[in-house]
């Protein structure tokens, strides 16, 4: 581009900028007039405050009534099964029952021993009387195809219920 063309280009740019700035300078009169009109209008009335309801007072006198929580927290009634708090926990009681897999047996007849694979990838030997699972599960019988046990679960009223459970041999 020749030097004369650059000068004309700059001059055109300066003229356009001046026109744009001149267009922005005027027209504030309408805005000021509208703001004055809005300020002159009266404020709308406020809504009345809601009427507060008066509630009847009620005195709860429970001196002569039975405490509804006395049985629930006193250990419940009756002499049902209970977990032994003094019993030392066995290794397989740290795992949920459904995470234990029966993988086989050793022996035959009444002396059969079950083989359980735990989540820690260790195979454990289990006999009747052993404890496993997180609900105080005690093994009652070991068969070649399953392990039978009884768990102690809370009954919701401060007592405990025995719940039978079974771990079956995996079919591979």
DSSP string covering 136-147: TEEEEEE-SSEE
pLDDT band at 1 (very low <50, low <70, confident <90, very high): low
pLDDT of 42 higher than 70: yes
CA distances to 20, 118, 122, 131 from 103, rounded to whole Å, are: 87, 10, 11, 18
| Closest among 142, 96, 137, 89 to 118, alpha carbons compared | 96
Q: Is this prediction's pTM over 0.85?
A: no
Q: Residue 166 pairs with which residues in a beta bridge? A: 148
Given a cut of 80, whether residue 112 has pLDDT beyond it is: yes
Instruction: Give the model's pLDDT for residue 57.
Output: 84
Domains along the chain with CATH numbers:
28-63 (no CATH), 91-168 (2.30.30.830)
Report the C-alpha gap between 140 and 127 in whole angstroms: 9
Using 50, 70 and 90 to split pLDDT, how confident is the model at 127?
Answer: very high
- pLDDT per residue as tens digits for the range 136-162: 999 999 999 999 999 999 888 788 899
Q: Give me the pLDDT at residue 70, please.
A: 63
pLDDT in tens, 63-109: 777 776 665 545 455 567 888 888 899 999 999 999 999 999 998 87
Q: Give the pLDDT of residue 89.
A: 92
Q: Which residue has the higher pLDDT, 49 or 1?
A: 49
Nearest alpha carbon to residue 98 among 119, 122, 128 = 119
């Amino acid at each position: 581009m020749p030097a004369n063309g650059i000068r004309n280009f700059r001059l055109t740019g300066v003229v356009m900028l001046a026109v744009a700035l001149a267009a922005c300078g005027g027209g504030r009169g309408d805005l000021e007039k509208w703001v004055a009109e809005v300020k002159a209008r009266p404020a709308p009335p406020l809504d009345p405050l809601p009427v507060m309801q008066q509630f009847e007072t009620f005195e709860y006198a429970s001196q002569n009534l039975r405490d509804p929580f006395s049985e629930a927290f006193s250990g419940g009634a009756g002499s049902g099964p209970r977990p032994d708090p003094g019993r030392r926990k066995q290794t397989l009681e740290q795992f949920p029952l459904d995470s234990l897999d029966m993988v086989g047996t050793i022996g035959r007849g009444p002396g059969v021993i079950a083989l359980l694979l735990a989540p820690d990838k260790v195979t454990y030997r289990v006999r009747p009387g052993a404890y496993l699972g997180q609900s105080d599960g005690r093994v009652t019988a070991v068969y070649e195809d399953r392990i039978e046990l009884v768990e102690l679960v809370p009954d919701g009223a401060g007592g405990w219920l025995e719940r039978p459970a079974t771990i079956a041999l995996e079919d591979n």
